[in-house]
Structures are given as structure tokens and as C-alpha cells.
Chain A
Amino acid sequence: MPLSRRQTLRTLGLGAATLAAPAVMRHAALGADPITVVGIHDASGGLDIYGLPMIACLSFAVDEVNAAGGLLGREIKLINYDPQSNIQLYTQFATQAATSDHAAVVHGGITSASREAIRPILRRYRTLYFYNTQYEGGVCDRNCFCTGSTPAQNVQKLVPYVMKKWGKKIYILAADYNYGQITSKWVTKYCRENGGEVVAADFFPLNVTDFGATIQKIQQAKPDMVMSVLVGGAHVSFYRQWAAAGMKKKIPMASTTLGGGNETLLLTPEEADGIVVAYSYFQEVDNPANKEFLQKFHAKLGDKAPYLGGELAMRTYVGFHLWAEGVRRAKSTDRMKVIEALESGIAFDGPPGRTVIDGKTNHVSLDVYLAEVVNRGFKVLEHFPNQPPADTASVCDLKAHPNTDRQFVIDVKI
């Protein structure tokens, strides 16, 4: 029934937008002075645990650049849209960003489903797109820069580490959409390469909250560890129910997603401590750039500063600065000039370490960290500098085939 309400609203909204379009366009043409940047992140709905910190970091990065005089002498105007964890709204806002806001760049998308919804739209309207989330890899599109880490960077480090620590039998729990499906294949691949075995993989729609039967199935399968590729607010129940069944002390857990948002704050130390994860950033990373960033971030936002946890929010900050550097080097906001500048191998030294754009794939090489949850935060265990996006590079070559426009499902040999 909510569907029909949405459809009605959408129809009405589209009608209104069509009527208002001439007025909006005239207005936009007059105020051409600031550079418009659009952010599309879920500030409500099940994905807000990821979206809210990302919005805070994007706004902070924009303010930083504006405080330093803007870009090319022009101020940056940031428009944040909230798609409310609803894919239909993503497409609507992407269209709006391209056609009526004339955005120089769109930063946004959290789930891979949302990215694949807006990526073709932004390409069609020739609007540059930055996707700043860790994801399953394989996107090959000159118009789209993916600045988060991918399985060849994070899972490749995570799986051997936890297998060495805990054993060879892995039970995978994953969210039932492209990210979960593909990431679980990568986990399987790295597990087998290290002489291990995946005893089972279960997939859950994003709204599932009851994991009771699954917890029994896991006990029956007796794995050496559980690998969680669960996503979003509803799936947080799994960690609660796992701990409530007393399983946390019996079977250890690693995750490719926990801590991407604020899950560690929602869970008690009894429920989450000891879970091992890999990301390209943790708030607890110890280096001077990060210390300086956090000090400024907290000075500016005060009590409202979100906990940054894993990488999603920080990659959004880095992604914006990479784009800004591209504009500086191109001396223009023209899309093709900025793309060419970015592909020349722009780097940004920030809190997570050095991020370099790989012009062949429009992905980045970055530092990867392993950490475990300790008392609602993370303890960084290991640091691997300069990891290339080897997974996407194995299928994507934009230098040779600049017109590629697709997400390769990397043939994970398992």
C-alpha cells in the first residue's frame, strides 16, 4: 500500500516539476557564479547509519575548501538530497542534480543498488559522478570515480588474517543484493586460496530482523568463524541475537561491513567486541594527518560530530578533495577536462594515508587497515600501505576502451 502512495506523490511531484521547470532553469542560469556540488546520501531510513556521517564529512570538506578561498576563485555551493533509503528517490534526485541544479559533480550513493540506479543517469546527462563507498568492485565507466576500497583491497587482507587466527571453516551471512552476493564470492575465493572451506552462505533481504533459525543452522555447521556481509539497520539485530544466544564466546566473527556506519555505537561491547574488520580508514588510525583532521572536525561540529568508524564517511571526505584537486589541475569545472586531470593520477594525502587515482580503472589505490572492535570503537591491528584496485584492474581498462560503461561481475574463480 505504501507503494501506491509513493506513486501518487511521485506523479504529482513530476507534474509540479514539469510545470515549474522553466522558472527553475531561468533562475539557475542567472546565478551561475558558485560551483554547484550535489550530495545524495540517505539521511533517513535503514541506511542512515551510513548516510549521516557521510553527509557530515562531505559538508566539512566543502567548508574546508570554501574557507581556503573556494575553487578557481568561485565558492562551492553544496546541495544535499536525502533519498530516504529509497531507490526511486535516488533516480529522481540524480536527474534533478544534472538537469536543474547543473551540478559540476555528484557525490553519493551508498548501496551498490543505488549506485547502479544513478550512474547511468549521470552518464547520460554528462554529469561527473563520485561513488565514495567500499563496494564489490568492477565498475568501469569514465564518468564514475570509485574512491572506496574493493574486495582485492579489504577482503584479501581480512580473510587470510582471520583464517590464520581462527581456522579454516567459514560460514558466510550476507545481504541479499549485488554487494552481498559478489562479496561473498570474493570471501569464498580468498578462503579457498588459503586452503579453507566455506561451509555455507546464507543471504538475507535488507528488512530481515529474525535470525533465530540461522543461528541454529550455524551451530549445526560448526564453522571456525562467521563472516558477516550484512548491511543496514535491520541486520544489526543479528549481532544482538548472536550474543544473546551466547554464541559470541564460542564462534568468532569477522565482517566486511560492520563499522561502516555507526553499528559499533548501537551495540554493546558484549555484543560487538572482538569482531575483526578491514577498511581503508578507522577513526582510530594513528597518524598526524588524522589527528589534525579529527581536531578540526570536532572543533567545528562539537557534540554533533558523528563517530566516523570505518571508511564510508572518510572516503566521502577524500573523494571530494580528489575532485577539488582535479578541478584545480584542470583549471576548469568542465567535465571532460576534470576527468582527464583526475585520470592523470591525482593523489590526496589525508587522514587515511595517501590515495592515488588509477587512470586505467578510475578506482584508487589506498592504505588498508585491519582492526577489531573494542569498547564501541576500533583497535587498529595492521596497516597495509598502497593497495592497488587489482580486482577492477583485471577486467577494466578505460585507457584502451574509454567508452566502456558497465559493471563487470568479476569472474571470481572459486
Chain B
Amino acid sequence: MDLLVAVALQVMTGIATLFLISLGLAVIFGMMGVINLAHGEFLMLGGYAAILSVRHGINLWVAMFLIAPLAVGLFGLIVERLMIRRLYGQMVETMLATWGLSLALIGIVTMVFGNTVGGFSAPLGSVQVGKFQFSAYSLFLIGAAGLLAVLVWIVLRRTPYGLLARGTMQNAEMAAALGVATERVYAVTFALGAALTGLAGGLLAPLSGVVPTMGTAYIAKAFITVITGGAAMLVGTLSASVLLGAAGVLGTFLTTPVLGEAALLALAIVLVRLLPRGITGRFFQRAL
């Protein structure tokens, strides 16, 4: 019984982690269609924003929940203005430009902070579940992921901005004809995606440590999750995180960490083969 609870919690942590690293990309790629190959570096910047703030004596929660998303969101706004804005609809050019951005960011951060692993300890201590002990922080991550999912849903479904954003992404010309400032909507949406990514980077920093090249460990998984999820960005990413995260963690439990990772990738391949338009191409089609 204890073991079941322990495994279940661990599976949920794996799902939450996958969801967190993919959410920002779901907005930028899933919703806006921008292939952002610098997504991993946005995560990395969030991690550095958090870690530097903590080192300068700022409260840990403020650093993770405010500074990391604000810093990366702002950075996203600048990137959108200078680079992405000129490339909407040009897939290859966007890929090249964001890949260049990714390499440049890794290089710049390495020059400024050095290619060493930084980190701070996870707060909150541990909790006892029967015979097993957990880092309370990973439980907190599960909560944070759930909360974020709800928040994003509310913003996109229940606010005027959400309506404009969804309309603009669906048909930008029609939205513009109806008087929507589509350029601004694009900019804000990109910044929102960047901020979500920065937040994820900040939240993961105490667990994984930060290093300039950390993005490369996450970017493939993030893209796989969003693509497996399919058209409905929020529900798609969530359902893909559930399936892939569970496969990864259970695989690790039953076999070895290497095979666990392989199980995640194998499942993604099978899913995309069976459901070429993603999970939400067949199920939850009307969802967000």
C-alpha cells in the first residue's frame, strides 16, 4: 500500500515536471506555431534568474515565482520584437534564427557565469508517506503544475485577452479586420510563453541544478510532449505529460533509469504513429 502511494506520487512528480517544461512551448509552438529551438535556453535563463536572485539574498519564493518568469517574459518580449516578429509563418527561417539564439545564449551565459553547475537546496524539507520519505518540494511541484494549468485555462477561456489571443491565432486577418491589434496580441502571447518557461526553469533549479547547457536535456522532451499532445494546447500537453511522464517513471521503477527514458520515447513514437495529429487530434477535440 505504501509502495503504491510512493510510486503514484513519484509518477505524478514526473508528470508535473514534464508538464512544467512543456507548458511554455505549448503556448509558443502549439498555439502560435513558432518553432522555438531556444526553448531549452529560456528554461536555463529562468534557472539562472532564480539562482542569482537567491544568491543576492532575495527570498527563494519571490525569486522562483516572480523574478524568474518576469525576467524571461521580458526577454521573450525583446526577442519577439527583434527577431520572431519578422519571421511569423516562415518555418525554416524561424528554426534557424531560434537555433542561432539558442547557441548564442549558451555561449553568452557560459562566458558570464562559467560552465559550472550552480544550485541551491530545495526548500520545505521532507514528508513521510507510510514507510517512504519524499522531498516535500516535489509534492509542491505537483501542486504548482496543477495550479498553472488552471491559471492558463482561466486566462485563455475567461479573459478578454484570451479571447483575442485565440481568435488571432485562429485567423489573424479576420481578427485584424475586426480591429484587433494582432501584432500586440502576438507579442504578449510570446512573452506569456516565455514567462511560463522561465517560471518552470526557476521551479526546477533546486532539483536539477543549473548549467548553461541544461536546456539541451529538456528541449527534445518538451517538443515531443507538445507534438504528442496535438492541436489543443493545454489539454493536449497535459494528457501527453500524463502518458509520457507515467511511462518514464514506471519504466525507471520496473527496470533501470536508462530504459525508463527509452520507454518514454518509445511510447511517444507509438502515439505519434497511431495518432499522427496528436492525442487531441482524436480525443478532446473541442478542448482548449
Interface residues of A (CB under 8 A from B): 1-2, 5, 44-46, 48-49, 84, 176, 202-205, 207-210, 212-217, 219-220, 233-234, 236-237, 240-241, 243-247, 250, 266, 268, 270-271
Contact = CB atoms under 8 A, between A and B. Distances in A.
Given A213-B10, A216-B7, A246-B126, A241 B256 contact: no
B121 A244 contact: yes
Interface in B212-229: 213-214, 216-217
A216 B14 contact: no
A45 B115 contact: yes
B53 interface: no
Given A44-B115, A207-B217, A213-B253, A241 B131 contact: no
A1 B216 CA distance: 10
Contacts of B3: 220
B126 A237 contact: no
B207 A236 contact: no
Contact of A241 (B14, B37, B135, B258): B135
B217 A212 contact: no
Given A5-B103, A216-B10, A237 B209 contact: yes
B113 to A, nearest CB: 12
Contact of A213 (B37, B103, B213, B260): B260
A268 B257 contact: no
23 contacts: A44-B115, A84-B115, A202-B256, A202-B257, A203-B256, A204-B258, A205-B258, A210-B207, A210-B208, A212-B10, A212-B13, A212-B249, A213-B10, A213-B14, A213-B257, A214-B257, A233-B211, A234-B208, A236-B209, A240-B209, A244-B206, A245-B133, A270-B121
Q: Which of B117, B125, B128, B258 has the most CB of A within 10 A?
A: B117
Contacts of B6: 216, 219-220
A176 B262 CA distance: 15
Contacts, number: 121
A111 to B, nearest CB: 16
Contacts of A210: 14, 17, 207-208
Interface of B: 3, 6-7, 10, 13-14, 17, 37, 99, 103, 110, 114-117, 119, 121-122, 124-128, 131-138, 206-209, 211, 213-214, 216-217, 249, 252-253, 256-258, 260
Given A205-B257, A210-B14, 11 more contacts: A44-B115, A45-B213, A48-B114, A210-B17, A220-B6, A236-B209, A243-B121, A245-B126, A245-B133, A247-B133, A271-B121
A271 to B, nearest CB: 7
Closest 6 pairs between A and B when the two form their complex, measured CB to CB: A246-B126, A233-B117, A244-B135, A44-B115, A209-B208, A213-B252
A219 B2 CA distance: 11
